[in-house]
């Protein structure tokens, strides 16, 4: 981090005449950056994380189980990168960083914690330190129940695996159907996203989770 501070100071008077390429910026940006540490400071001790679900398609459905393909847009602010990202905002609107190089919130599908991502994209860093991460995965749940009138409700619960509400404040933009490809046999008639706090089974404190529910019926 010392190298980055020295660089920013020396670069200050030449910002208008010198254009940094992305490689130089990333080399300086990641210097002394600890990806194992959650981004926080005295002014912002809790990391705000926003998670949503973008449904792509129904893969398989029966009365007890549902499998879907979905993107999981996730955003947060990395306070350690805020000043540097803002400083170079005039050179490029954002930069792409390998997800293995920065801190990621460990948002997990509680029904199946071993779920693997189909695609692990880079993280986009925008001005102010805003991080945008959009992984894709095939996700499964057996939390399904018949609610009458031929409708079955199936729920997916996502939340941090190792951070309670004193560390991470989880929010949601809900469920997006913008990229949804209709199923020939079943239709999604309603979708909801509800934030909940629950007492952890192993530790003190409360954990936040988002319960996404899809209401499905046969066409």
The pLDDT tens digits of the residues spanning 98-154 come to: 888 899 999 999 888 766 666 778 999 988 889 999 999 999 999 999 999 999 999
- At 79, the pLDDT band (50, 70, 90 cuts) reads confident
| Burial classification of residue 36, based on how many CB atoms lie within 10 Å of its CB (0-12 exposed, 13-18 middle, 19 or more buried) | exposed
**How far is the C-alpha of 110 from the C-alpha of 212, rounded, in Å?**
12
**How far is the C-alpha of 40 from the C-alpha of 77, rounded, in Å?**
9
Mean of per-residue pLDDT scores for the chain: 84
Q: 209: helix, coil or strand? A: strand
Output the furthest CA–CA distance in the chain (Å, rounded): 69
Cβ contacts of 10 within 8 Å, gap of 6 or more: none
pLDDT over 90 at 155, yes or no: yes
Q: What is the pLDDT of residue 89?
A: 67
pLDDT digits (tens, 9 = 90+) for 185-217: 999 999 999 999 988 677 778 889 999 999 999
Q: What is the pLDDT of residue 23?
A: 73
pLDDT over 90 at 87, yes or no: no
DSSP 8-state assignment for residue 119: B
User: Average pLDDT in the 4-11 region?
Assistant: 34
User: Average pLDDT in the 157-175 region?
Assistant: 94
pLDDT digits (tens, 9 = 90+) for 44-61: 899 999 999 999 999 999
Q: Which helix (H) or strand (E) holds 82?
A: helix 82-87
The CB-side HSE value for 30 (13 A sphere, CA atoms) comes to 17
Joined together, the tokens standing for residue 64 give: 């007890």
CB 189 within 8 A of CB 150: no
């Amino acid at each position: 981090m010392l190298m980055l501070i020295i660089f920013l100071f020396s670069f200050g008077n030449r910002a208008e005449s010198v254009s940094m390429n992305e490689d130089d910026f990333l080399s300086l940006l990641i210097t002394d950056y600890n990806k194992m540490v959650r981004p926080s400071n005295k002014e912002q001790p809790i990391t705000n994380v926003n998670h949503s679900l973008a449904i792509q398609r129904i893969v398989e459905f029966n009365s007890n189980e549902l499998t879907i393909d979905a993107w999981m847009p996730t955003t947060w602010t990395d306070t350690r990168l805020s000043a540097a990202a803002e400083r170079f905002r005039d050179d490029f609107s954002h930069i792409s960083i390998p997800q293995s190089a920065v801190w990621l919130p460990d948002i997990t599908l509680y029904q199946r914690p071993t779920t693997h991502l189909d695609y692990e994209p880079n993280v986009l860093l925008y001005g102010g330190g805003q991080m945008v991460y959009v992984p894709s995965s095939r996700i499964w749940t057996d939390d399904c129940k018949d609610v009458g009138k031929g409708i079955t409700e199936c729920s997916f619960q996502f939340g941090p695996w190792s951070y309670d509400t004193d560390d991470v404040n989880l929010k949601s933009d809900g469920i997006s159907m913008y990229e949804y490809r209709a199923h020939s046999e079943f239709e999604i008639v309603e979708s909801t996203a509800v934030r909940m706090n629950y007492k952890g089974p192993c530790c003190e404190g409360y954990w936040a989770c988002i319960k996404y529910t899809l209401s499905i019926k046969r066409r």
